[in-house]
Amino acid sequence: MKRFGLLLLLGMVGCGPTYVRGSEAPGLDDAAMSTGLDKRDLETLLHDNLSALRDSAEMRAWLAEGKKPRIAIYPLMNETSEHADSQLDAMLSDIESYLVESNAFTVISLERQREMMAEVEKQHGGGFDPKNIAAYNKQLGADYFITGKVFSSDERTAEARRVQYFMYLQILEVATSAIKWQHKSALTKGLVGG
């Protein structure tokens, strides 16, 4: 009887869910698992924005000038109810890579930028103050900085839920805070009755 119980227990262990890697389960990242933002959604929003930047008149002008203005990267603000801050922070490296590969800018290293800002603040006797971003950029030698924000709009009925996400990216001139380029991308996720 003990032997039968052990076999039954071992059989039950094999019936539960199995952990897999994406390479072991083709299409694993394809289906939406919720109405929340996932990696694929953020990549789609970012790709749309960066494609718009690549095709913009501003990018053509920067490339034509051949001067490669210096650009710093600032965090993307999360204005949604999603806990996506770490994903948005990871996207900063994607933006950094895109800007370097575009060959239109001299990109100030994201990691070095934080260290340099801390050093600037130490020299001025205080901690990091976001109100001083323009001054930091000027001291770092940046001509522009790129930043953005993500918003959402959530609607429900008894049978369905729809969440619309909007990502804005913008490039601002350090000296004037003038918006030199901006683009909005959007996507919708939903839960529909079956």
Domain that holds residue 75: 36-191
In 3D space, the residue among 123, 113, 177, 183 whose CA is nearest the CA of residue 148 turns out to be: 183
- At 109-132, the pLDDT tens digits run 766 666 766 776 676 666 556 566
Q: Is 108 left (phi over 0), alpha (psi -120 to 50) or beta?
A: beta
Q: Phi/psi at 93 (nearest 5 deg)?
A: -70, -35
- Per-chain mean pLDDT for the chain: 84
β-sheet with 161-173: strand ranges across: 106-107, 70-79, 144-156, 161-173, 179-191
Q: Count of domains in the chain?
A: 1
Counting residues of the chain whose pLDDT is more than 90, the rounded percentage is 47
Structural domain includes residue 144? yes
Structural domain includes residue 173? yes
Structural domain includes residue 13? no
- At 21-43, the pLDDT tens digits run 878 888 887 888 888 888 899 99
Structural domain includes residue 64? yes
Q: Phi/psi at 89 (nearest 5 deg)?
A: -65, -40
- Please indicate, yes or no, whether the overall pTM of this predicted structure exceeds 0.85: no
Q: Which amino acid is at 156?
A: R
Give the residue, 64 or 119, on which the prediction is more confident.
Answer: 64
In 3D space, the residue among 86, 100, 187 whose CA is nearest the CA of residue 146 turns out to be: 100
CATH of the domain at 118: 3.40.50.10610
pLDDT at position 30 is 80
pLDDT at position 181 is 97
Structural domain includes residue 17? no
Structural domain includes residue 3? no
| Three-state DSSP class for residue 189 | strand
